[in-house]
Structure 1
Amino acid sequence: MAGGEEGTRGSRARVRVGLPAVILGCYLVGDSVHRARAAIEFGARWWPWMLLGLAVVNLLRSALPAASLIGPLVLASIAVAGLVRSGHLGTGTVMDLALPGLLALCGAALLWGASGGELRSSWTRVLTSGRIAAPRPMGKTLVLRAVLGELRADLTATGEYERDTVHVTAFAGHIRMTVPRDRWVNVHASGTVLTRVVETGAPPAKVVDPSVGLTVHVLGVCAVVGIVRV
């Protein structure tokens, strides 16, 4: 199983590195110096809007599942096409802004989607938000990281009769863990600075054996870590 996890992680890393490399290589063909300078100037001019757009996308991903955005995106595309046809929206604006933005959004969705669904023991979100469901069993040690982003982890299917450890690292981010109500949880938050650890939900209805509980080690800076019992 460990070999499969390492292979999946390596494949995912190759996708995330290789795909941008292919795109960058195709973009630089013909006049590398001029195009590279133009890209740098574009980034220097529009980086605040890029960060704002990324923040909006993260808010949408936190509030809504990705599948629920398919219908609105299709309707928006039809509306843009209608505006162009009627003359209320210039073709140049669509080609220069709308189309590249749509391509970038689709590419980001593909990259984010490539990290879901496989058996893993480590998840990281950097400048993004997302939901994950830990497998059962989850491999005794689970690593959750959020850097300037949000990660919501569902641990309700991890089993009740085993001792598991969760290492949480949050830097200016938010990690929310959902755990079974009848599972013992012990939180070690000595490695936190300006970080709030919040436990919500009803406590266990009966005394739970600590030897089969969940141990959470938190390392956080200017972050929030939530543990929700369901």
Structure 2
Amino acid sequence: MNRFEPLTILSALAATTRHIGLVATVTVSYTEPFQVARQFASLDHISGGRAGWNVVTSWLSGTADNFSKGEHLPHAVRYRIAKEHIEVVKGLWDSWEDDAFAYNKQKGEFFTPGKLHTLDHKGEFFSVKGPLNIARSPQGQPVIFQAGTSEAGRTFAAGNSDAIFVHAESLDEARAYYQDLKQRAKGFGRDPYALSILPGIRPIVGRDEAEVESR
């Protein structure tokens, strides 16, 4: 089974589509914030402002074996990493203001210094000076998706996400999740109605119902 690298696939799709959002799942546990910020800013430019990032912490313990890590960190630690990681990424996305690049040949001014913001982040897990070496993308801040169900996951999603997937076994469970996430978002001082909560579905595509059932 081929599991192609998502950002490569979405960059190709960006060239052949015009309207759909292009959301890639990328872990925070085995990536660097500068790398992630650069990848999604690039996709946002290439797609004309359609990039989104589905943030995950990687739950499979064996993942560590593929990234030169001695161990798969505990759940609580991974969410501490996630919080800092996304703060750094968002900070890097704000490195340049929309009109930072003047391109003024007469004045010899490539960009306006006051519109450049160097992050200079030093935290528990990451040290990132910045700025990002890409101009501000069409969205500025690509859309953040998450699907946390644990206590830490829900808190992280409510505080950082623009949209959240619901994985529920019943309508009542989905409604309870919806209300819980809206309240948590409000607790962060966010407008709860600005947080989109979406059903997590896996469509099976076929020519008719019989073909779908056969799959």
Task: Report the TM-score when normalising by structure 2.
Answer: 0.26
Name the structure where helix makes up a greater proportion of residues: 1
Work out which of the two has the higher radius of gyration on C-alpha atoms and give 1 or 2: 1
Which structure has more RCO (C-alpha within 8 Å, separation ≥ 6)? 2
Name the structure where strand makes up a greater proportion of residues: 1
Task: Report the TM-score when normalising by structure 1.
Answer: 0.25
